[in-house]
Each structure stands twice: as C-alpha cells, then as structure tokens.
C-alpha cells in the first residue's frame, strides 16, 4: 500500500475515533445533567413527604414549601414548631425510601432567638452522625422552616455515573494505542521501503563488477598458459567458484526483496517428484563428490509447484546438510503420503541445531551461533527464502533434531 493511501486511511480513522470520543464526552455530560435533575426531583419529593408528615392535617400551603436555593441547598417551609429529633427521623426515613444515599446536613430556624440551630451532619457511610461546621443563612419572611445541604452531591452524582467515565477513559486509552500503533506502522513502512531500496541498489551495484569478474575469470581459465599450469588453474577455479557463490547470494537477496515488495509470481505446474529430485541430487553430487545421498521416493507421486522455486528449496536444504556436517555427509530423502497430503523428508547426519534455536532458524538474517557457522560464509537468508517459498505454495515446513545426530526437515504438501 502506498504511503499516501495509508496516510489517508490513518487520518480518517483518527478523526473517526476523535468523533466517537467527543460524542462520548457529550453523552457523559448529558447523563450527568439528567442524573442531577433526577436527584433534585427525588429530594423534592422526599422533602414534600417530610413536610406532609410533620404538618399532618394542618397542611395549608398554597405554594410549594420546598425551594431549591442552590445546587446543593434546599429550604423547606413548615407551619409549626417541630422537635429536631422528629425531623431527623423523618428525613432518614424518606431519604432511605427514595434511595438518596449521600451525606447531608440539616438545621432548624428558631424564631424565638432568630437563629439557625441544631445543625447536624448525617453520614451515609456510618451509622453514627459526625459533626461538620456548615453555615446556614437566615431567610426573611419565614417563621418556621429548616434547611438542608448535600456537601458531597457532585461526588455522589459522579460515582453513580462511573460506567460512563470508565467507558470514556477506555476510549481515550484506545485512541492513544491507535495513535502509537499507526505511528509505529508508518515508521516500519518507511524503514521497510528504505531497506528494500538499499538492498536493490546494493545488489545491482554488486552484480555489474561481479559479472565482469566471472567473464574475465572464465576467459582466463580457457587460456593455454593457465590450462598447463596446475596452480594457475586452481586459482582461477577458486575465483570462478567463489564468484558463482557470491552471485547466488545476490540472487537470493534480490528474490527476497522482490517477494517483500510485491510477492513472488509462481508458475505452477505438475511435477513428477522422483525424477525431479533425482536430477537435483545428481547435480549436487557432481559438485560435491564426497557426499552420500540416498532416495526412497515413490515414483508415482506428483505435485503441483513452481519448478524453479521448488528446485531452490531442495538445493538449499541439501546445501545446508552438506555444509553443516563435520564428517562424511549422508543424506536420506524419503516421502510418504496419507489422507492429508504428501510428506517430503530430508534426514542428515550433521551437527544438529540447539533446541532453543530451532524456532528462529527461518527468521531473516538469523544464523545459529556455533563454531561451524563461523567457518561458513552466509547471510542467514537460505532458510528464510525456503520458508517464504513454502508459505507461498501454502505448504508447511518443520525441523527437528534426530536422536543420534543431524536434523530432519519435513516439507508437508497438502492435497
């Protein structure tokens, strides 16, 4: 995907999450307003019930005796003098009935000395009351009344809306994770493109002088003076062999870079497994005389695969078995099939792989840190390339150590 298209998608996603977050905050604010209105209604109704029970049949109010003076302050008119203990009892009874579970403070007006008296703090968290100094102003034109305050009203409303705030906090966390993830993706995308461009440029720059070296070496090797001199012939052979090996590495890197960019284009065709593998084995044995390779493959097995890349899989597996062997390399290639598919197995007598390293051997640029690995030149791309081709074919590959020595590599080809 191009960077511009990715940026557009990221921007749209970012604004979508911002929009959801703003909507959530608006809903939370509206929910708080509705909860505040609900609380005021319950308090008004509860206080009206208290007034009715205190007044009894003498209730002669023409207007609502309950006045909401401030957000947390209520003034209640009554038509007679009452005892504070009776008022406290009715307040507790009605507030419990209407499920108003928050702290409050009440005070009675004493018309004899023109003062607010008996201010008492009622806590919902404890059975016993506690003292808290809260001032209550006097009100003109009222003879008998009491006042009530809810000092923790905002805290009570917020606690009743904790679900909304938790959801809003979760959305904020999701937004932060989204922004961080997108930033990481963009950085990785840029790094991947930079790495791919560097590999392409580097390998192409290498191929030009390498081709010149190969041409010059092959031309030099055909000269009579070289053919007649054993040492010169050996030197030119070393130059040619090492150049071919380097060229093979460069081609491998180019193939991997191409696969990362757009994926490999496979040309699938029917392959008769036995003659195909046999031809590769003969080619390997020609280059490596001191190698023993045995085959036990059913001649009737055929698969559908890309001929070029499938041959590279076999070459890489055989090459690893030969390179990572300290004695005479012996390789056994077998096959069998069941109801699920075909199993192509490569068993060698090499040095094996430490169990902790097996999960990582197919990683790009990964090489097992052993003395033998240090002696062998390579970039850690062979098995990575094999795994890529296997995945491209929708096959599976696995590696395990043999009980005695060496490893067994299994390629599973499903029907």
The CATH number for 358's domain is 3.30.565.10
Mean pLDDT lowest for which of 158-162, 225-229, 260-264? 260-264
Instruction: Tell which wins on pLDDT, 373 or 307.
Output: 307
pLDDT range class, residue 3, cuts 50, 70, 90: low
Distance CA 358, CA 400 (A): 8
Residue 169 located in a structural domain: no
Distance CA 40, CA 116 (A): 24
Which of 206, 229, 262 is the endpoint of a domain?
262
Residue 327, pLDDT score: 85
Which of 120, 137, 160 is the endpoint of a domain?
160
Q: How many other C-beta atoms lie within 10 A of the C-beta of residue 327?
A: 9
Same domain, yes or no: 215 and 328: no
Give yes or no for residue 128 having a pLDDT over 70: no
Residue 350 located in a structural domain: yes
Residue 358, pLDDT score: 84
Residue 338 located in a structural domain: yes
Give yes or no for residue 5 having a pLDDT over 50: yes
Same domain, yes or no: 362 and 213: no
The domain tally of the chain equals: 3
Same domain, yes or no: 203 and 301: no
Same domain, yes or no: 231 and 181: yes
Residue 332, pLDDT score: 92
Q: Contacts by 155-163 with C-beta closer than 8 Å and gap 24+?
A: 156/39, 156/101, 156/102, 157/32, 157/35, 157/36, 157/39, 158/32, 160/35, 161/28, 161/31, 161/32, 161/35
Residue 170 located in a structural domain: no
Phi first, then psi, for residue 407 (nearest 5°) are: -130, 165
Among all chains, which residue has been given the structure tokens 């999960």? Answer: 359
Instruction: Tell which wins on pLDDT, 203 or 325.
Output: 325
Give yes or no for residue 284 having a pLDDT over 70: yes
Q: The pTM is what?
A: 0.48
Tell me the pLDDT of the chain averaged across its residues.
Answer: 79
Give yes or no for residue 287 having a pLDDT over 80: no
Mean pLDDT lowest for which of 4-8, 137-141, 315-319? 137-141
Same domain, yes or no: 84 and 29: yes
Same domain, yes or no: 352 and 367: yes
Residue 113, pLDDT score: 62
Give yes or no for residue 412 having a pLDDT over 90: yes
Same domain, yes or no: 208 and 116: no
Residue 92 located in a structural domain: yes
pLDDT range class, residue 132, cuts 50, 70, 90: low
Same domain, yes or no: 214 and 338: no
Question: Mean pLDDT across the stretch 375-401?
Answer: 81
Residue 167 located in a structural domain: no
Give yes or no for residue 69 having a pLDDT over 90: no
Residue 137 located in a structural domain: yes
Residue 411, pLDDT score: 92
Which residues constitute the domain of residue 196?
A: 175-262
Same domain, yes or no: 250 and 276: no
Residue 82, pLDDT score: 77
Which of 262, 282, 313 is the endpoint of a domain?
262
- Highest-confidence segment of 64-68, 77-81, 89-93, 398-402: 398-402
Residue 395, pLDDT score: 92
Residue 168 located in a structural domain: no
pLDDT, tens digit, 9 for 90 and up, residues 24-66: 778 878 888 888 888 888 888 888 888 888 876 565 566 778 8
Sign (positive or negative) of CA dihedral 169, 172, 174, 180: negative
Q: What is the DSSP track for 257-314? A: HHHHHH-----EEEEEHHHHHHHHHHHHHHH-SS-EEEEE--TT-EEEEEHHHHHHHH
Same domain, yes or no: 77 and 118: yes
Question: Mean pLDDT across the stretch 73-99?
Answer: 83
Same domain, yes or no: 255 and 367: no
Residue 83, Cβ density class (10 Å: 0-12 exposed, 13-18 middle, ≥19 buried): exposed
Same domain, yes or no: 350 and 322: yes
């Amino acid at each position: 995907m191009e960077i511009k298209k990715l940026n557009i998608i990221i921007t749209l996603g970012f604004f979508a999450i911002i929009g959801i977050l703003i909507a959530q905050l608006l809903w939370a604010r509206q929910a708080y307003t509705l909860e505040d209105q609900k609380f005021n209604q319950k308090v008004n109704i509860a206080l009206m019930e208290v007034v009715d029970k205190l007044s009894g049949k003498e209730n002669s109010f023409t207007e609502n005796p309950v006045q909401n003076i401030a957000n947390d302050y209520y003034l209640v008119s009554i038509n007679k003098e009452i005892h504070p203990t009776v008022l406290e009892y009715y307040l507790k009874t009605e507030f419990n009935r209407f499920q108003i579970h928050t702290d409050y403070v009440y005070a009675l007006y004493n018309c004899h000395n023109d003062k607010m008296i008996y201010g008492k703090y009622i806590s919902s968290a404890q059975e016993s009351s506690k003292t808290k100094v809260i001032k209550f102003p006097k009100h003109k034109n009222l003879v008998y009344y009491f006042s009530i305050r809810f000092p923790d009203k905002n805290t009570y409303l917020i606690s009743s809306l904790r679900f909304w705030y938790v959801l809003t906090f979760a959305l904020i966390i999701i937004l932060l994770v989204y922004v961080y993830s997108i930033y990481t993706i963009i950085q990785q995308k840029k790094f991947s493109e930079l790495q791919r461009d560097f590999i392409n440029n580097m390998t192409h720059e290498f191929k030009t002088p390498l081709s010149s070296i190969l041409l010059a070496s092959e031309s030099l090797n055909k000269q009579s003076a070289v053919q007649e001199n054993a040492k010169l012939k050996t030197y030119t052979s070393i130059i040619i062999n090492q150049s071919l090996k380097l060229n093979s590495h460069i081609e491998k890197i180019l193939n991997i870079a191409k696969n990362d960019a757009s994926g490999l284009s496979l040309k699938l065709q029917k392959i008769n497994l036995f003659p195909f593998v046999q031809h590769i084995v003969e080619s390997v044995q020609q280059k490596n005389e001191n190698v023993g390779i045995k085959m036990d493959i059913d001649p009737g097995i055929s698969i559908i695969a890309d001929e070029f890349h499938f041959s590279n899989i076999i070459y890489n597996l055989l090459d690893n078995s030969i390179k990572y062997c300290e004695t005479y390399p012996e390789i056994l290639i077998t096959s069998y099939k069941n109801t699920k598919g075909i199993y192509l197995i490569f068993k060698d007598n090499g040095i094996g792989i430490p169990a902790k390293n097996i999960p990582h051997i197919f990683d790009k640029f990964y090489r097992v840190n052993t003395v033998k690995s240090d002696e062998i030149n390579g970039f850690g791309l062979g098995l990575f390339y094999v795994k890529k081709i296997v995945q491209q074919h929708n096959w599976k590959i696995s590696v395990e150590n043999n009980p005695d020595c060496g490893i067994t590599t299994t390629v599973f080809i499903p029907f």
